Amino acid sequence: MGSSLLERKIEKRSDHVRLQGRILFLTEDPELIKKQLSGWDLPWDTKNPANNPKLRDDISTDEITPAHYCFYFDRTLGEIPYVGLRCGDTLPIGRSDVKNGGFVCSVSGRRRGKGSSREQSPYAEMCAGIQVAIAENIERIYKQNCQNLGLLTATNFSLIDRIRAGEEIALSEFTVGEDEITKQVIEYGGLFAFNVARLQGKVFLPPIAGEGARAIRSMTVAEKIFARHMVNPDGTVGVAAVKPGDTGFTRVDLRFSHEYVTPMASIFYEQYVGKDVPVNDASSIRFFRDHLTFLDEVISEEKKKMGLLDLATQLKLKQEDFAKQQGIKLHGELADRKGSEGICHSVMLETYALPGQVNVGSDSHTPHVGAIGCIAFGIGTTDVFNSWITKDVRVKVPESVKIVICGERHPNVTAKDFILKILSLDYVRSGKALAKVMEYAGEAVEALSVDERATMTNMAAEIGGFTGIVAPDEKVIEFLMERRGMKRADVEKMIEGLQSDPNAEYAEVIELDANEITPMVATPGDPGNGKYIRELSSRVPIEIAYGGTCTAGKNEDMDMYASVLDDALKHGRRVSKNVEFWIQFGSQETREYSKRRGYIDIFEKAGARVIEPSCGACINAGPGVSTRSDQVVISAQNRNFPGRSGPGQMYLASPLTVAASAVAGYIVEYEPSQQRELTTV
């Protein structure tokens, strides 16, 4: 990577820290937050936690840095943290409030940093003066982004009194319980400094390969793939076996990023490595312009006046320039019409990812491609930029949770209903699944197509899991033969041995009966708010229905939208006059598939509005977003965090439910006409 990095002087941070400033408690009560912002310090009883006000749980990165502010990729982000934080119906924190408050520590409850992998969130906190984030438990990607940037994290609430007293605190308080590599990343103040020290031979990389029984231990499918990809201290790749807790670097087969992340990563690269220094193996890197293609159609005049649309254009241009300079393949905008070549996850599954690979991407939904039996996980900006140098990423081999869905599903139940059921389980909602591999198995999963399996692996992100995976089988062979033109013998060889051993160990085994699962929705606020539709207390009228995104813009999703709308047309029905129904393709391949099957004509005749591929409404950047707080939306996307897709009330559901509800005008289960017409149950 050139002599400049080998000659750079790198030093560890001090082994003690003194945090001098105030503590911001992110409580459920907006008035308590407002009082803190005005200068009042909230009392906190460390010894008797029951005396303290309730802290906000499930704070997402959407709330820390709402999507439209992520167009900034400089220290302006320091004006932004928590402006999207919702307490009841109130947004108590305004622009620059945190920065002006003199806060050095931010405290919250369970599952801090869930959702998007955007590194802008911890970067915004740091730029506002926050030096440590304390929470009951912390989502994996957010925590790793904090470590990579140098923002300290802790789950030890006893530190609050010591910070408030201005005591000197040993750095070891923030590395306790961490693996050897993570400790060193924290000690060096971030991932880049650590990697420079690594290139200079100054850091300790623990060996992974064991002896005796360890080397022949039974492994899960995820552990097998990691074992094949772990980098040894001497630079060779592959070990006999791994177990949960092993730490090191995994060689990656494919790396991708999109226009939200590439520009900041490229600026880091040019600043720290050099503008003319080639990245490590450009042929295995992909860029995507897929997030902001339709932004101009929904961005408010107020945000335009703030210059946010211009900033979004700069993101696009910076990515294009870096791709051209480095010779990196860019899936960009269409030349003949508005839209993109495809959403990154959709294109990666259709075109690039292969069983047994390790893929990383700048998005929390990177696990999408786990549907064909590869390890794929989201990483932040600093990880992306460092991977361009080393072609590997830091990992701690995660534990696996096996989710077995047995039995036969009902005809109107889909993979989306399965995952909404899983998200509603106490094991997931309590945070016990955080940073674990979700391995989906059982006859009901085996019966799903690869497209449907991708819905479940994709939404491992909402679980807070490390990734999602399904062991590859005949369905994967057929998928790769049909979609890629691959030869059966080649795919069979590729998937050989990619199944979990019978005696593999799991952190938890969860068993569900498909026959007991009926169509579900996640009520507004969180994907974990799952309910059976038949349990809704009253009819829920809707104004917007949205079918699309990486989760629900695949070929089989289009089959579902088309089957419902064709059924409606045959019975003289169309999309309700009170509903706008948007259907957005995940890729050009899916658009062409829909065109060949005659679906586009069905969609338009039924009154649905078709959109070219893009992330769009899912990130409040395209048609299908809400514009009023009282507006009710039903969407097949993966998230319904507050403000994620506009101010309205969003219910998540399957493609079948979304289409049926669009026709009915309110949330319904779908039943094919030969059984009964659209109706509530």
| C-alpha span between 540 and 627 (Å, rounded) | 18
C-alpha distances in angstroms, 493 versus 251, 254, 488, 489?
Answer: 21, 20, 9, 6
pLDDT tens digits for range 162-175: 999 999 999 999 99
Q: CATH assignment of 20-165?
A: 3.20.19.10
* pTM over cut 0.85: yes
Q: Is the pLDDT of residue 213 over 60?
A: no
Q: How many residues does the chain have?
A: 681
pLDDT of residue 211: 44
pLDDT of residue 591: 97
pLDDT of residue 538: 93
Q: Is the pLDDT of residue 350 over 90?
A: yes
Q: Is the pLDDT of residue 587 over 90?
A: yes
pLDDT of residue 3: 58
Delimit the domains of the chain by residue range.
20-165, 206-249, 254-396, 521-681
Which CATH code, of 3.40.50.300, 3.50.50.100, 3.30.360.10, 3.30.499.10, is assigned to 521-681?
A: 3.30.499.10
pLDDT tens digits for range 374-428: 999 999 899 999 999 999 999 999 999 999 999 999 999 999 999 999 999 999 9
Q: 676 CB contacts (<8 Å, ≥6 apart)?
A: none
Which CATH code, of 3.30.499.10, 3.40.605.10, 3.40.50.720, 3.30.1490.100, is assigned to 254-396?
A: 3.30.499.10
Burial per residue of 578-612, b for 16 or more beta-carbon CB atoms within 10 angstroms, e otherwise: ebbbbbbbbbbbbbebbeeeebbebbeebbbebbb
Strands 285-288 and 254-258: parallel
pLDDT of residue 209: 58
Residue where the block lists tokens 């990691």: 226
C-alpha distances in angstroms, 544 versus 185, 239, 385, 634, 636?
Answer: 46, 51, 39, 6, 12
pLDDT of residue 677: 44
State the Cα torsion 46-49-54-59 to the nearest 10°. 60
pLDDT of residue 205: 85
Q: Is the pLDDT of residue 503 over 70?
A: yes
pLDDT of residue 676: 42
Question: What mean pLDDT comes out for the span 510-525?
Answer: 98
* DSSP secondary structure code for residue 116 in this structure: -
| C-alpha span between 470 and 456 (Å, rounded) | 9
* DSSP secondary structure code for residue 587 in this structure: B
**Do the first three CATH levels of 254-396 and 521-681 match, i.e. the same topology?**
yes
Question: What mean pLDDT comes out for the span 171-196?
Answer: 94
| C-alpha span between 383 and 362 (Å, rounded) | 9
Tokens of residue 404, six digits: 């077995």
Burial class for 478, CB neighbours closer than 10 Å (0-12, 13-18, 19+): middle
In contact, 228 and 494? CB cutoff 8 Å: no
Q: Is the pLDDT of residue 55 over 80?
A: yes
pLDDT tens digits for range 631-680: 999 999 999 988 889 999 999 999 999 999 999 999 999 987 643 444 33
Dump the DSSP string for 25-88.
E-BS-HHHHHHHHTTPPPP--SS-GGGSPPBPPS-BHHHHS-GGGGG--SGGGGG-TTTT--BT
In contact, 211 and 181? CB cutoff 8 Å: no
Q: Give the max Cα distance, the chain.
A: 74
Q: What is the mean pLDDT of the chain?
A: 94
Q: Is the pLDDT of residue 31 over 50?
A: yes
pLDDT of residue 2: 52
Q: Is the pLDDT of residue 341 over 50?
A: yes
pLDDT tens digits for range 109-143: 999 999 888 999 999 999 999 999 999 999 999 99
Question: What mean pLDDT comes out for the span 250-279?
Answer: 94
